[in-house]
Each structure stands twice: as structure tokens, then as C-alpha cells.
Amino acid sequence: MGVHAFIVPIRDLNTLQTLPGIEIHDCGHKVGLNGVDNGALRFRSVRIPRDNLLNRFGDVSQDGKYTSSLPTINKRFAAMLGELVGGRVGLAYASVGFLKISVTIAVRYSLLRQQFGPPEQPEVSILDYQSQQHKLMPMLASSYAFHFATQYLVQKYSEMKKMHDEQLVADVHALSAGLKAYVTSYTAKSLSTCREACGGHGYAAVNRFGSLRNDHDIFQTFEGDNTVLMQQVAADLLRQYKDKFQGGTLSVTWNYLRESMNTYLSQPNPIIARWESADHLRDPKFQLDAFRSLILSLSSLQSLSKLCTIVLMQEVELL
């Protein structure tokens, strides 16, 4: 009937010894996150009461009849895996915290560290060098972007838990998968870059780059391997692309023209587009229009080809 969750006692409440048929193994010392007690459980012919079934998605009556609000095994399996979404939301948010810490350390060091400068003049902060700025400023900007993006993700996840809307569940699943994969991969690379930006001093344990890197590295593979999560995002994008072409040829063409005209009419006229004032450039609507223009200028066929290749590779691996 698919994958289901049960509550299984593992220790005697009086002696705290493991119950018959249950084995517990510790994972041992890890590269990082040793404050987290990871282990493995093995069950051999363990029987539990029917009442131990967590029956939100499926139940078994006293006479052994199985019922479920979800019609297929695949849907039940997806519902169980959907509980991983909360973990992905937390990982994306925590990864931003790692990025903030490392960027703060590197920027502060770069402001205080002075080296070289014009002849017969005081040395200058290494943050004044363009090479150092090119390393750190994009990460600083990304920290702000990821902060607001993960806050939005947490908000949508909270709405999903309250409403149980199927479309919202699908959107949060794709968004959490994409953000978790992208943010954690970005932060993993940034931790090394921040360490390098601090030179030899960055290798000192007191700067925490080593412990931060070790504790964060696992973020890329637990609660879903980043490669697999990106494939899930690609599959969702292909689904949305397919939905755009549902219906007859005339209705599809009409919807495309309508959306295109709405986008065209919302664009600023040539005079406004050349405004360079701070208020205009910081206007969220202008920035959103700029991103839309960038996306529309990309090769749609090339992007779709890459997405199809990723999904097909996943299907081949499953076969």
C-alpha cells in the first residue's frame, strides 16, 4: 500500500535497555556536526499495535481493511516525502546564517588588514583593492538576497501548513528544493572564498572558517542531495511549461499573445528606461522588469533542452 510511518518503541521504559529485535548503531565521529547524535536502527521481526500507525494518509480497521484519502501508492509516497520539506526550509535558512557569519568575518578582516599602497604613503586596507571587492561584494549582496528569499520561503511554508492547498504544496516543494540546493551550494563555495580572502590568518582555527566549513558541508547532501533536488525543480518547470500549452491551438496562442502584450505594456517607455536616479534604480518594479527582460532575452530552447536532458538522465538512471 506504499510507505507509511509508525511509532515504534525502542527501549524499555524501566531499564532503558533496547527491546527485543531492535539494534542501535552509532555513526561514529564525523567530519562536522558532532553535536548531532546520528545513528542507525535495525528491526528484526518487531511487532507493534495497529494503533501505532500515524494514520493521517492511511488507516487500517480492526478487521484488517485498509483505507486512504490518497488514491495511489505514488501519491502516498509523495505525501510522506513531503514532510521533508520542513527540513529543507530549515536548511536553506540555516545556510544563509553560515554565509552571513563567514562574509562578516572576511569583510571585517579586509577592512582592518592593511597592505601595500602608494610609495611613501601609509598602507591601505585590502578591501580597497578591486580583486578583494570582486571576491566579497557579490557574496555580501547575495547574503541580503538569500535572507529575503528564505524569509519568503518560510512564510509560504507556514501558509502551506495551515491551508493544505495542493497547488501551494507543489509550489513550496519546488521552491524549497531549489532554494535549499542553490543556497547550500553557493554557501559551500563562499566559505572557501572567505577563508582565502583572509590569507594566512584565515587558516587559524580562531577564525572558525574550518569549523563552519565542516559543519555546513553536509547541508549539500542531507534532506535531499542537491543534484536530485535540482532535477525535481527541472521536472516542475517542465510541468509548468506543459500546462501553458493545455487546450486548443487557438486558446494557447491567445494566452501567449495576451501575456506578451501585458509584459510589453508594463515596460517603461524609452525615456523612463534611461533614468539613472537612485529612486528609479531602487524601485522594486523597475528591478522586477529588468529581471523579466533578462529572462526573456535568454535562449528558451537552450534552457528547455538542458531541463529535458536533466530529467531524461534521471529517468535513465531509474531504469
Is 75 among the domain residues? no
User: Do residue 112 and residue 213 come from a single domain?
Assistant: yes
In angstroms, how far apart are the furthest CA atoms of the chain? 92
Query: What is the distance between the alpha carbons of residues 218 and 215, in angstroms, rounded to a whole number?
Result: 7
Angle at 213 between CA 212 and CA 214, to 5 degrees: 95
User: Do residue 62 and residue 91 come from a single domain?
Assistant: no
C-alpha cell at 64: 484488517
Distances (CA, A) of 309 to 64, 101, 185, 315, 316: 45, 37, 21, 10, 10
Query: What is the distance between the alpha carbons of residues 215 and 98, in angstroms, rounded to a whole number?
Result: 9
What is the model's pLDDT at position 270? 47
User: Do residue 212 and residue 260 come from a single domain?
Assistant: no
Query: What CATH number corresponds to the domain at position 169?
Result: 1.20.140.10
Please check whether residue 143 is in contact with residue 232, taking contact to mean a CB–CB distance below 8 angstroms: no
Please check whether residue 106 is in contact with residue 197, taking contact to mean a CB–CB distance below 8 angstroms: yes
Query: What is the distance between the alpha carbons of residues 163 and 161, in angstroms, rounded to a whole number?
Result: 6
Is 233 among the domain residues? no
Is 235 among the domain residues? no
Could you count the other beta carbons within 10 Å of the beta carbon of residue 120?
Answer: 5
User: Do residue 173 and residue 255 come from a single domain?
Assistant: no
* Cα 218 → chain centroid: 13
Own/partner pairs, 265-274, CB within 8 angstroms, 24+ separation:
267/293
Is 204 among the domain residues? yes
**Domain end among 70, 93, 110:** 70
- Catalytic-residue membership of 223: yes
User: Do residue 281 and residue 200 come from a single domain?
Assistant: no
User: Do residue 86 and residue 201 come from a single domain?
Assistant: yes
User: Do residue 206 and residue 132 come from a single domain?
Assistant: yes
User: Do residue 49 and residue 101 come from a single domain?
Assistant: no
C-alpha cell at 190: 563562499
Q: What's the average pLDDT block by block, 10 residues per block, for the chain (319 residues)?
A: 89 94 93 89 93 89 89 80 84 96 96 86 89 93 93 92 80 91 95 94 91 94 90 86 71 70 56 68 80 64 49 48
Please check whether residue 113 is in contact with residue 200, taking contact to mean a CB–CB distance below 8 angstroms: no
Is 8 among the domain residues? no
User: Do residue 209 and residue 260 come from a single domain?
Assistant: no
Is 296 among the domain residues? yes
Provide the pairing of β-strand 58-60 with 39-43: unpaired
Number of structural domains (the chain) is 3
User: Do residue 41 and residue 99 come from a single domain?
Assistant: no
Catalytic residue among 120, 123, 159, 223: 223
User: Do residue 192 and residue 253 come from a single domain?
Assistant: no
Could you count the other beta carbons within 10 Å of the beta carbon of residue 279?
Answer: 8
Is 109 among the domain residues? yes
C-alpha cell at 93: 535558512
Query: What is the distance between the alpha carbons of residues 231 and 241, in angstroms, rounded to a whole number?
Result: 15
User: Do residue 208 and residue 94 come from a single domain?
Assistant: yes
Is 76 among the domain residues? no
For residue 159, the enclosing domain spans: 82-223
What is the model's pLDDT at position 319? 46
